[in-house]
Amino acid sequence: MFEQLKSKNSGIEMLQLEDREFEKYGTELKDFPLNELPNSFLEDEIPENNTTYIPSISDWENTKFKKEVENNFFGQLPIQIGLCKGHNQYLNGFEFHKTSEIIVTATPLVLLIQTLQEVDIQKEVLTENSKGVFIPALKAVEIYSTTLHLAPCKVTDSGFNSMIILPKGTNEELETGRGSAETLLFKKNKWAIAHRDHKKFVEQNVPVRIVGENLKINYK
């Protein structure tokens, strides 16, 4: 599948988890308890057309699995376990957090990424500098706090399904009003910039700082 994605997306540098180039963006968590993943996640249906993000799913959080992830991967900080699934194929925008994020894949997917160290987030971020990392099914990957990312992209007709693990409260509404174009703060522990083609972000007044083609992941 990876070689096909490379051939179908010749304008985007495609990475695999084991590539040295990926080391500045994140790392595969080979000791993550994949055998304890909730069946309701692995068997979850993917919506037919849209892409859905749910920050917190209580059934997944009232488990021994959650405690293990808190203790072993977040230094005993409280976490939230949610999901992102659907049919997205576009870059659309970038977000980053002040903490790592863990993505667990029920299906293969591609994540479009850049790194804060190589951009001026207050000016323009060029889409042409984005890379795509292919993540196979049943992998757990830590995405570093300095990695710009957004919703994954599907690589099959059936869509993608991923578990998203972050510190508790991330992506909740701000308590002190909206953020500003200067700070880029959009939600709790979520800083964001938009591509002009991403209508949802633009309508929510996320600053348009991404310049160039709104990259699309092709798979067939």
Q: What is the pLDDT of residue 40?
A: 95
CATH number of this structure's domain 2-211, picked from the four choices 2.70.170.10, 2.60.120.10, 3.30.300.30, 3.20.20.80 = 2.60.120.10
Q: How confident is the model at residue 17 (pLDDT cuts 50, 70, 90)?
A: very high
Q: Which pLDDT tens digit goes with each residue over 196-219?
A: 999 999 999 999 999 999 999 999
The one-letter amino acid code at 60 reads W
**pLDDT category of residue 78 using cuts at 50, 70 and 90:** very high
| pTM of the full structure | 0.96
User: Which two structure tokens, joined as six digits, stand for 99?
Assistant: 């903490």
Q: What tokens does 190 get?
A: 């979520």
Lowest mean pLDDT among 38-42, 109-113, 180-184: 180-184
Question: Per DSSP, which regions of 55-212 are E strands?
Answer: 79-86, 93-96, 101-105, 109-115, 125-126, 131-135, 140-143, 147-148, 160-167, 185-187, 190-195, 208-211
- For residues 61 and 126, give the distance between their C-alpha atoms in angstroms, rounded to a whole number: 38
Q: Quick one: DSSP state of residue 31? A: T
Mapping DSSP to helix (H, G, I), strand (E, B) and coil, where does residue 64 land?
Answer: helix
Largest Cα span, the chain: 47
**Residues forming a β-bridge with 109:** 135
Residue 74 has pLDDT above 70, yes or no: yes
Where do the domains of the chain lie? 2-211
Distances in Å between the Cα of 111 and the Cα atoms of 38, 80, 98 are 23, 21, 19
